Amino acid sequence: MIQRPYTVVLIVPTGVGAAIGGYAGDALPVARAISAICDRLITHPNVLNGAQLYWNLPNALYVEGYALDKFASGCIGLQPIHQNRVGLILDQGIEPELRVRHLQVADAARATLGLNLTDYVVTDAPLNVELRTAASGASWGTIGNPDSLLRAAEVLIQQAKADAIAVVARFPDDLGSEALQAYRHGQGVDPLAGAEAVISHLIVRTFQVPCAHAPALMPLPLDPDLSPRSAAEELGYTFLPCVLVGLSRAPQFVESHKAKFQLPAPTQNFTSRRGDIWASDVDAVVIPASACGGSALLSLSRQSQTQIIAVEENQTSMQVSPEDLGIQAIRVNSYLEALGVLVAHRAGISAEALSPSLSSLHCLSVRGKPASRST
Amino acid sequence: MSHSLSTVTMTTHFITAEIDIQETPVQLQQAIEAELQKRGEPLRWAITRVDSDRQIAQVEAIVTVESDTAAAL
């Protein structure tokens, strides 16, 4: 029997202090587990990026948040590829020694992993990233020179023929802040994550190519009490390796001719073909139960065939449940339980049938008349 | 691309908004994007809290504004 590929979207929103996935790529074990029981896993850099650490998941698609939103809305499809040429943008604000460290990562990725990188570009002005924590507790950020970022990306795409963009921006060092100390100890919100997302969103929105970001920071003093969830970001000088690996096989984007929304720019030279993945192919979405207010989930919730699984244990600083927005979802306590729901869903087994209590069917009324149960 | 980047001056802005809860999630999404559009080009947004008594969704967002409209914010 031929079945359609079972496709799962895993979302752990960036910069909202998710208990699992709010730190140094610490939702990667969740992604690994889900990828083992589905045919295709679509997830985003916040889930898969562990700075120096990464894991190759052959059936996972690495899709940046802006593209994930557009994919969910039906604007674009995802086209799996064998290899991207990755172009690297370095912020002019990065100190010379730190710049060399990042270039050595790029060379190492070429020599040791065999990745295909183009020549790199240094922005024509410092990007001047500014961090902000909003009233909700989420981290956000703004970019002082977005035009400089976009000019650098344009050079890589048009001259160097890059088909994916890695950005390294100099982020403010914040050694003494309470937020950083809490983050290093596996608590609170990643103070950098919101601004990182803004950088990659700008490039994806403008050029419709895969993009991801790694911050450049001075190494922190040793902390013997570092949380395991944050430790992957303190293994070396840069957070770049996972970004280059993720982008090297990130799917390209194809534009839907049926899309209701106009894209700001046409997609690159990729035309739709068999095997492209569209929102209608998504069978299930797994999301923290308190963080259901993102664009991607709102879009996917309109599809009756898509099972939304809300995980309560992965608490965040958001306060938006599926019920608040009228989204039909199965609530589970943990990702372990979510895995069980996915397995049952894929097998065509009602999750209700796996619990001890199963109520009898009720007869629906026809034209307002309740029907009695026949015997 | 529709224009040369060298002629554009873009700025990024953090904004908040309150949006009435709509009948369906998709209608709510459209209402949010329409509201954000009044203040720039939406880049990233999320509903961060729902006030169920007032039936209001609180939204945080980053929008971009090009040079000729930057003064409006």
Residues contacting residue A313 through CB under 8 Å, at least 6 positions apart: A19, A20, A333, A334, A335
- The CA distances from residue A104 to A132, A245, B13, in Å, are 31, 15, 34
Please say whether the beta carbons of A322 and A20 come within 8 A.
no
Contact B12 A142 (CB under 8 A): yes
pLDDT digit string (tens) for B2-58? 444 556 699 999 999 999 999 999 999 999 999 999 999 999 999 999 999 999 999
pLDDT digit string (tens) for A310-321? 999 999 999 999
pLDDT digit string (tens) for A137-183? 999 889 999 999 999 999 999 999 999 999 999 999 876 788 888 98
Please say whether the beta carbons of A225 and A234 come within 8 A.
no
| Min distance B24 CA to chain A CA atoms (Å) | 7
pLDDT the model gives residue A375: 46
Contact A298 B28 (CB under 8 A): yes
**A199, A166, A136, A171: CA torsion to nearest 10:** -80
Q: What are phi and psi of A262, to 5 degrees?
A: -80, 135
Check residues A127 and B6 and name the one with the higher pLDDT.
A127
Distance CA A34, CA A29 (A): 9
Residues contacting residue A220 through CB under 8 Å, at least 6 positions apart: A175, A184, A234
| Min distance A314 CA to chain B CA atoms (Å) | 16
Chain B residue closest in CA terms to A301? B25
- Position B72 pLDDT exceeds 60: no
**Cα–Cα nearest to B4, from B66, B69, B59:** B66
Which pairing describes strands A7-10 and A40-43: parallel, antiparallel, or unpaired?
parallel
Distance CA A71, CA B24 (A): 20
- Asked if A326 is an interface residue toward chain B (Cβ–Cβ < 8 A), one would say yes
Name the CA radius of gyration of chain A, rounded. Answer: 22
Q: Point out the least confidently predicted range of A103-107, A255-259, A352-356, B56-60.
A: A255-259
Residues of A in contact with B62 (CB under 8 A): 140-142, 198, 201
Please say whether the beta carbons of A50 and A242 come within 8 A.
yes
Half-sphere exposure of A353 (CA within 13 A, CB side): 6
Distance CA A242, CA A230 (A): 15
The confidence band for A370, taking pLDDT boundaries of 50, 70 and 90, is low
pLDDT the model gives residue A154: 97
Length of chain A: 375
The confidence band for B71, taking pLDDT boundaries of 50, 70 and 90, is very low
Residues of A in contact with B50 (CB under 8 A): 293, 319-321, 324-325
| Min distance B64 CA to chain A CA atoms (Å) | 9
**Cα–Cα nearest to A287, from A18, A6, A15:** A18
pLDDT the model gives residue A258: 60
- Asked if A17 is an interface residue toward chain B (Cβ–Cβ < 8 A), one would say no
Q: Point out the least confidently predicted range of A94-98, A100-104, A207-211, B8-12.
A: B8-12
- Position A374 pLDDT exceeds 60: no
pLDDT the model gives residue A85: 98
**pTM exceeds 0.90 for this model:** yes
pLDDT digit string (tens) for B17-29? 999 999 999 999 9
pLDDT the model gives residue A266: 54
Q: Give me the mean pLDDT over the A45-68 stretch.
A: 96
**Cα–Cα nearest to A236, from A214, A260, A254, A255:** A214
Indicate the residue type of A199: I
Indicate the residue type of A242: C
Q: Give me the mean pLDDT over the A95-100 stretch.
A: 97
